[in-house]
Amino acid sequence: MAEFLDVKGQDMAVRLLRNALQSHKISHAYMFVGETGTGKSLLADAFAKNLLCESGTGIACNNCKSCHQANSHNHPDIIYLHPEKEGYISVGDIRDNVNATISIKPYQGQYKVYIIAHAEWMSEGAQNALLKTMEEPPEYAVILLLTDNEEHFLPTIMSRVVTIPLVPVAYEEKIKAPEFIALKEKVMPYLIAGHDTELNAVEPIIQELSKDKIDCRKALEVFLLFYRDVLIYKSTRDESLVLLQDALFDIRKKADTIEYEGINNIIKEIETSRRRIEMSVKAEYVLADLYMTIKENDK
Ligand SMILES: [Zn+2]
């Protein structure tokens, strides 16, 4: 079974999960969000194994019974949801495989982990069924939802998961390109807007980006990376994990003035903005709305 080391290019996500494991601050539900190929399943496997290791340290020893079972994909307390039909997770799938078994205590350890791949396949009914469990989960239950698209979920589900965004692997290279660096410099004043920044201060940036859909799309990528960095820095205080190294000063500053919930709200709004641009909503409106979200979430 996977180790965290097998998950390439996702230092931020790995660090967040390791921190949770080692500080024993485990949430009842996580959502790993990332494109195909970013390593969501490997990450889920590694997290489950480390969590269940009998050493109780949050670091898999690879020697105990639990680690052996996890390594052979044969652990009674790691449950994978296999839907009856490919491409669709029904109410019945959730009831039979999650709700009906979650009240049974773990066979051996302190936790019982449910891994739901392609969680976006869940119908609304399935999500509502899962929600019942998520509202009052047993102490030992941990649910991992893996998805490439968080837009499929009910807000009530989103409010109960800790979102772990995975970085498309190609970004590590992309950010070194001179065009990327130039664009980043240009949009920085918009990006770091605080609660006291007025819209007219960033109006020229909005106007310029609105002229060209491609520029706008690229700018949104910069925004996303910036707030992912803010998230990783806030939760780890480890500068070496920051992707946008030359924006470190602003990232640290932002991390101090913004709550986790605010970062989450902004990341979600950036994703929404990307879709609105694709749907040909006027870039001016999209960027003005996003700006308001950034501003409102900065204390
Ligand atoms: Zn172990």
Per residue in 117-173, pLDDT (tens digit) is 999 999 999 999 999 999 999 999 999 999 988 888 999 999 999 999 888 767 776
Return the structure tokens found at 134.
Answer: 């998520």
Task: Report pLDDT digits (tens) over 167-194.
Answer: 876 777 678 778 888 889 889 888 888 7
CA of 165 to the centre of ligand 1 (A): 27
CA of 12 to the centre of ligand 1 (A): 24
The pLDDT value given to residue 118 = 94
CA of 21 to the centre of ligand 1 (A): 13
pLDDT at 36 over 80: no
The pLDDT value given to residue 176 = 79
Query: For the chain, which residues make up each domain, given as ranges?
Result: 4-165, 171-296
CA of 218 to the centre of ligand 1 (A): 44
CA of 53 to the centre of ligand 1 (A): 4
CA of 22 to the centre of ligand 1 (A): 14
CA of 51 to the centre of ligand 1 (A): 9
Return the structure tokens found at 101.
Answer: 């078994």
CA of 63 to the centre of ligand 1 (A): 5
Angle at 226 between CA 19 and CA 191, to 5 degrees: 140
The HSE-up count of residue 169 (CA atoms within 13 Å, CB side) is 9
- Alpha-carbon gap, residue 288 to 191, rounded angstroms: 12
Q: What is the DSSP string of 86-98?
A: TTBB-HHHHIIII
CA of 65 to the centre of ligand 1 (A): 7
b/e per residue 45-79 (b: at least 16 CB within 10 A): bbbbbbbbbeeeebebeeebebbebbbeeebebbb
The pLDDT value given to residue 1 = 62
CA of 108 to the centre of ligand 1 (A): 12
The whole-model pTM stands at 0.65
CA of 24 to the centre of ligand 1 (A): 16
Mean pLDDT of the chain: 91
Q: Which residue has the higher pLDDT, 67 or 10?
A: 67
Return the structure tokens found at 203.
Answer: 């109006």
Task: Report pLDDT digits (tens) over 54-86.
Answer: 998 999 999 999 999 999 889 999 999 989 988
The CA-atom distances, in angstroms, between 91 and each of 95, 99, 263 are 6, 10, 32
Say which CATH architecture domain 4-165 belongs to.
Answer: 3-Layer(aba) Sandwich (3.40)
CA of 83 to the centre of ligand 1 (A): 29
The pLDDT value given to residue 169 = 66
CA of 136 to the centre of ligand 1 (A): 29
Q: Which residue has the higher pLDDT, 2 or 273?
A: 273
What's the Rg (C-alpha) of the chain?
Answer: 20
